[in-house]
């Protein structure tokens, strides 16, 4: 996992790769907490383009991030959402909480 700041837009970007499951969900949650502690009205982007798998534990961390960011009056942006993660979010009816980037058929 890596973290970077987008100086032009004040966005903090967390990039997570591999599997987001029971074994690794805590790592992302800790990174989210540390990132949110550094911002008053957080602008947090989760870059998931290198995420190969996400289970319910991983999804719960994404929900946690969305709720924490909203509590602080900020914005959460997801990018690089794979078809597997997109389907998980949609099947759980979480599209309003976890706003998905536009889906481009064939991509």
Q: Where are the domains of the chain?
A: 2-91
pLDDT grade for 104, boundaries at 50, 70 and 90: low
Fold of 2-91: Transcription Regulator spoIIAA (3.30.750)
Q: What count of other Cβ atoms lies within 10 Å of the Cβ of residue 102?
A: 5
pLDDT tens by residue, 28-80: 999 999 999 988 899 999 999 999 999 999 999 999 999 999 999 999 999 99
Is residue 55 classed exposed, middle or buried when 0-12, 13-18 and 19+ CB atoms within 10 A define those classes?
Answer: middle
């Amino acid at each position: 996992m890596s973290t970077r700041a987008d100086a032009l837009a004040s966005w903090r970007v967390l990039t997570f790769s591999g599997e987001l499951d029971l074994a690794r969900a805590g790592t992302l949650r800790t990174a989210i907490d540390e990132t949110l502690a550094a911002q008053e009205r957080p602008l947090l982007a989760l870059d998931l383009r290198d995420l190969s798998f996400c289970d319910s534990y991983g999804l719960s961390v994404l929900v946690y991030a969305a709720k924490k960011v909203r509590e602080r009056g900020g914005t959460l942006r997801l990018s690089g959402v794979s078809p597997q993660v997109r389907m998980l979010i949609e099947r759980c009816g979480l599209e309003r909480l976890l706003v998905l980037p536009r889906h481009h058929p064939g991509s």
